[in-house]
């Protein structure tokens, strides 16, 4: 049973990495949203399995939130948005699928190399989970960096957050979970604010920098 629970946890976490790769590969927006929904479903399955293994009922709540919010609500909302904006037929010009996938593989290898020795003393579930979660996070970041469309960037960001949740649930014991999730929430809020600020600034690029320049000269 011990062995089986470990294997199942690894299977689900590994599944998330696999789905992350699928997202990297997907260059149509609607397809991307579907893959993202699948990503969230795998996440909620993984969290639910952790809840079962660790006998921690509160993690079921986390799993339910992931399922409702990230697998259903957000993809549906994004779907509507895409249709309304009329960008659903767009094909993103990604800088080459092949190199991106290769980079992704490198990132996964890197996170294994970093995390496995670093978390050597943790119990096996947490250890492998942390390594896989870091891979998911890095792949999400890679996605944000390589895409130009705002919606793909948001999706990349959401998948990054999925990785964070995965890391948080893998750590056994409530206090650590609380600690990690609080820390990550701050990070998440920071990135969200940053993204929106940058988006807005990019939209009003000319106006903004002009104003900034004037301001600076006024100071001198």
Three-state secondary-structure class, residue 91:
strand
Phi, psi of 95 (to 5 degrees): -70, 60
Phi, psi of 91 (to 5 degrees): -115, 125
User: 142 or 168, CB closer to another protein?
Assistant: 142
* Closest distance to another protein from the beta carbon of 134 (Å): 8
Residue ranges in contact with another protein by CB under 8 A: 107, 110-111, 113-114, 117-118, 138, 141-142, 144-145, 148, 153, 195, 198-199, 202, 209
Cα dist from 38 to 30, 66, 94, 210, whole Å: 13, 11, 22, 44
d(CA 31, CA 25): 10
User: 72 or 113, CB closer to another protein?
Assistant: 113
* Closest distance to another protein from the beta carbon of 3 (Å): 28
d(CA 38, CA 26): 13
28 - beta bridge partners?
91
Residue that has been written with the tokens 């649930």 in this structure: 169
* Closest distance to another protein from the beta carbon of 114 (Å): 5
* Closest distance to another protein from the beta carbon of 106 (Å): 9
User: 72 or 118, CB closer to another protein?
Assistant: 118
User: 33 or 144, CB closer to another protein?
Assistant: 144
């Amino acid at each position: 049973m011990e062995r089986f629970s470990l294997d199942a946890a690894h299977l689900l976490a590994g599944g998330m990495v696999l789905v992350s790769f699928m997202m990297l590969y997907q260059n149509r927006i609607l397809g991307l949203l579907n893959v993202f929904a699948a990503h969230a479903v795998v996440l909620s399955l993984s969290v639910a399995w952790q809840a079962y293994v660790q006998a921690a009922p509160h993690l079921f709540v986390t799993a339910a939130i992931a399922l409702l919010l990230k697998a259903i609500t957000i993809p549906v909302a994004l779907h509507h948005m895409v249709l309304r904006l009329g960008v659903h037929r767009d094909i993103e010009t990604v800088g080459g699928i092949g190199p991106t996938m290769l980079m992704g593989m490198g990132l996964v290898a890197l996170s294994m190399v970093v995390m496995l020795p670093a978390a050597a003393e943790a119990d096996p579930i947490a250890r492998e989970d942390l390594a896989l979660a870091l891979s998911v996070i890095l792949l999400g970041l890679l996605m944000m960096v390589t895409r130009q469309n705002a919606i793909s960037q948001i999706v990349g960001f959401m998948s990054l957050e999925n990785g964070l949740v995965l890391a948080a649930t893998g750590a056994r014991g409530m206090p650590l979970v609380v600690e990690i999730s609080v820390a990550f929430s701050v990070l998440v809020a920071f990135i969200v604010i940053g993204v929106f600020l940058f988006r807005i600034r990019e939209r009003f690029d000319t106006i903004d920098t002009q104003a900034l320049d004037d301001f600076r000269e006024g100071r001198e």
